[in-house]
Amino acid sequence: MADDGSEAPHYYSKKQPPPKRKFMLNMEIRGMRIELESCSGIFSKDRVDNGTLLLVASMELPEEGSLLDMGCGCGAIGIAAARLKPSLTVTMVDTNPVAVRLSRENIAANDLGNAEALESDLYSALQGRLFDAIVSNPPLASGYRVIFPLIEGARDHLREGGSLQLVLRKGIKAIPAKMEEVFGNVEVISRKSGYRVFLSRKKQHLHPSPSGCS
C-alpha cells in the first residue's frame, strides 16, 4: 500500500470494478532493474512512489528465512526483496483482489519461484505463520484503525529477532510511538526526500538453562 493519497473509496471492497487503465512501472534499485505492471484503482498506480523507493533501497533483509510484504499493491517491495535475496521466501498480501492478481502476474513476469501473493485483511490469512521480517508502506489514508493493528499483529507474526520496517512521511509521530510501545524499541534506519524508514525488532528472550546448569 503506497502513501500517495491515491486511495480510492472502493479499495477495500471485495467487488472491484474492472481496471480502466494499465501502466508499466520501472524501478531501478540496488543495481537491478525491475518492471511491474499496475492499473487504475491501485495505490501509486502509475509510478513507484518515493516512500516505496526508500524502503526498498534501505530495508534490512535476512539472507534466508521468510519475509512478509504487508499491503503489497502491485508487489514492488516484495518482488524487490525476492530478487535481492533468492534464498528468502517472500509472501505478499493485500486486501484488494486486484492488487493480489497484479502481484501474482508480476511474480510470474519476473520469474520468481520464491514469492507468493495472497488476499488477506492484514494477518487474517496468515494464522500460525511466522516471519523474519515484515515490511510495509502503510496506508496512511486508512488511518490508525488499520495501521495500529498492523503493528500489533506484527509482534505475533515475527520470530524472535525479527523486524518490522515501515516507511513514513517526515513528521508523523504516533506510528513510531506505537512501534516503540509494542516492541520496546524503534529506530530510523534511513531518511530521504521527506521520508523515514523506521525499524522495530522483536527482542530475543533469554531461555532458562536446563535444571542443574548455570
pLDDT by residue (tens digit) across 160-214? Answer: 999 999 999 999 999 999 999 999 999 999 999 999 999 999 998 755 555 544 4
Per DSSP bridges, beta strands 158-169 and 131-136 are parallel
Task: Give the number of other CB atoms < 10 A from CB of residue 105.
Answer: 15
Cα separation of 1 and 7, whole Å? 9
Where residue 6 falls among pLDDT bands split at 50, 70, 90?
A: very low
Band the pLDDT of 41: cuts 50, 70, 90: confident
Which domains does the chain possess?
22-201 (3.40.50.150)
Please tell me the number of Cα atoms within 13 Å of 207 on its side-chain side.
Answer: 3
Q: Which residue has the cell 477495500?
A: 12
Task: Using alpha carbons, list the distances in angstroms from residue 154 to 6, 50, 95, 199.
Answer: 25, 24, 16, 12
Find out whether 196 and 167 touch, Cβ atoms under 8 Å: yes
How does the average pLDDT of the chain come out, rounded?
88
Helix (H, G, I), strand (E, B) or coil at 162: strand
pLDDT tens, residue by residue, 108-121:
999 999 999 999 99
Higher pLDDT, 142 or 155: 155
Q: Which amino acid is at 210?
A: P
Cα-based distances in Å from 94 to 66, 71, 103, 112, 207: 17, 4, 9, 19, 35
Mean pLDDT for 132-157 is 95
Q: What is the pTM of this model?
A: 0.86
Q: pLDDT tens, 57-77?
A: 999 999 999 999 999 999 999
Distance CA 48, CA 4 (A): 10
Residue 15 burial (CB < 10 Å; 0-12/13-18/19+)?
Answer: exposed
